[in-house]
Amino acid sequence: MEEIRGAVTRLRPAEARVAAVVLADPEGAAVASITELADRAQVSQASVVRFSQALGFAGVPELRSRLTGDLSRRALELERSNIAEGEINDADSALDVVTKLAFHEARAIEHTAMALDLEALDRAAGAMAQAGRLVGFGVGASGLVVEDLSQKLQRIGCPFLFSADTHVQLANAALAGPGGVAFGASFRGATEEVIRGLKVARGSGALTVALTNVADSPVARAADVVLTTSVREAQFRAAAMASRMAQLAVVDFLFVRVAQQRFDNLAMALEATRAAVRPR
């Protein structure tokens, strides 16, 4: 069902109506016929079939099978965790807090991995592996994620410039240039500093990559390559917990794919950086 939520913005209007019906009543959709789904969404049966195919399924039977599997797994998860969709509150025990956070963060990573565009991941990784200059943009929790990617890539010899100072970020963006790659992260996709950085970098000739939870957001539209997380944040999100964990997971996916493409020099770079810090 996370795949459906993530696909809504790119569906045709009739297909989007089918998506709305499925999301509103996934249990009913899992057992409904094509005719019943078409009637509920007030679209043609062909639109229901196209909706299924737009999500990558061969047809409606395969979609129903996936819905049934998702619902069964979800029921088992809730039974195991005994937390339902409960928010963290001031009456929760330490066990309640740990259980709830562990459940939601693990689910965020799992759903993100399932919905991630692997072609976009490899396009970004390929460009980063060959880039002469890498620059990053992000503030707050997303800034920490970009800093994490910067540290990882620099350990294997990929020059990645990142500063928490957004003016420095813009200066780096202006000099990214052709052959460079600019990476920006914003969970909701509306951070002005990240949007501006991506636009400036694109104007300099660099390839722009965005990491966001909203596929049709200003940050996504400012990027050539978009990597999306699949997270529903709870109201208690003082430290953007589930979103940050999902972003860090994508950063790890990206880093490993870059490292694979620089495999010949990987061991030497890692050993050199380890040797430099080992005495400390």
* pLDDT tens figures, 252-272: 999 999 999 877 776 677 777
Confidence of residue 87 (pLDDT cuts 50, 70, 90): low
Would you state the pLDDT for residue 201?
Answer: 98
232: which 2 tokens? 């529903």
Look at residues 220, 229, 225, 222 and name the one whose alpha carbon lies nearest to residue 247.
Answer: 229
Say how many residues make up the chain.
Answer: 280
pLDDT, mean of residues 99-111: 82
Q: What is the pLDDT of residues 198-208, one digit of tens each?
A: 999 999 999 99
Would you state the pLDDT for residue 238?
Answer: 41
Q: CA-CA distance, 206 to 197, in Å (whole number)?
A: 11
Beta bridge partners of 228: 212
Would you state the pLDDT for residue 106?
Answer: 84
Would you state the pLDDT for residue 239?
Answer: 47
Report which listed range, 32-41, 148-157, 200-209, is most confident.
200-209
Range with lowest mean pLDDT among 68-72, 126-130, 160-164, 234-238:
234-238
Confidence of residue 65 (pLDDT cuts 50, 70, 90): confident
> How many CB atoms are located within 10 Å of the residue 2 CB?
17
Q: What is the pLDDT of residues 165-214, one digit of tens each?
A: 999 999 999 999 999 999 999 999 999 999 999 999 999 999 999 999 99
Give me the long-range contacts of 54-62 (CB less than 8 A, separation at least 24): 54/7, 54/10, 54/11, 54/12, 54/15, 55/3, 55/4, 55/7, 56/3, 60/34
Residue 103 confidence (pLDDT) above 90: no
User: Of residues 28 and 148, which shows the higher confidence score?
Assistant: 148
DSSP state of 279: T
Would you state the pLDDT for residue 277?
Answer: 76
Would you state the pLDDT for residue 179?
Answer: 95
Would you state the pLDDT for residue 122?
Answer: 96
Would you state the pLDDT for residue 84?
Answer: 46
Would you state the pLDDT for residue 73?
Answer: 67
Q: Are 225 and 124 in contact (CB under 8 A)?
A: yes
Residue 274 confidence (pLDDT) above 80: no
Would you state the pLDDT for residue 233?
Answer: 62
- DSSP character string of 194-260: HHHHHHHHHHTT-EEEEEES-TTSHHHHT-SEEEE------S--TT-HHHHHHHHHHHHHHHHHHHH
Would you state the pLDDT for residue 237?
Answer: 47
